[in-house]
Amino acid sequence: MSRPEDQWQCQTVNCGYIYNPDRGDKKGKIPKGTRFEDLPDDWKCPLCGAGKKMFRPLAGAGSVAEEGI
């Protein structure tokens, strides 16, 4: 399992999707083990279509927990 800082959560009001590198993104044809930073720049959230800039780490610097979101 990936460390929490390697997982990302979509920061849209309606979504909350968590990108998990251990699972990849079957819909987006992203293989298991692909780190968030290695996703293509045009990758979108499979649920809401948010771009990578709308994601924040679950832990660590700049994280959801640190920002109080």
Dump pLDDT digits (tens) for 23-34.
999 999 999 999
pLDDT band at 38 (very low <50, low <70, confident <90, very high): very high
Q: What is the pLDDT of residue 40?
A: 96
Could you tell me the residue range of the domain that residue 18 belongs to? 1-69
- How many domains would you assign to the chain? 1
Strands of 8-10's sheet in order across: 18-19, 8-10, 55-57
Per DSSP, helices labelled H in 1-69 are 64-67
44 token code pair: 């979108």
CA distance 33 to 50: 21
Query: Looking at the predicted structure, is the pLDDT value of residue 60 above 60?
Result: yes
Q: Residue 37 belongs to a domain with what CATH number?
A: 2.20.28.10
Q: Are 26 and 34 within 8 A, CB to CB? A: no
pLDDT of residue 3: 66
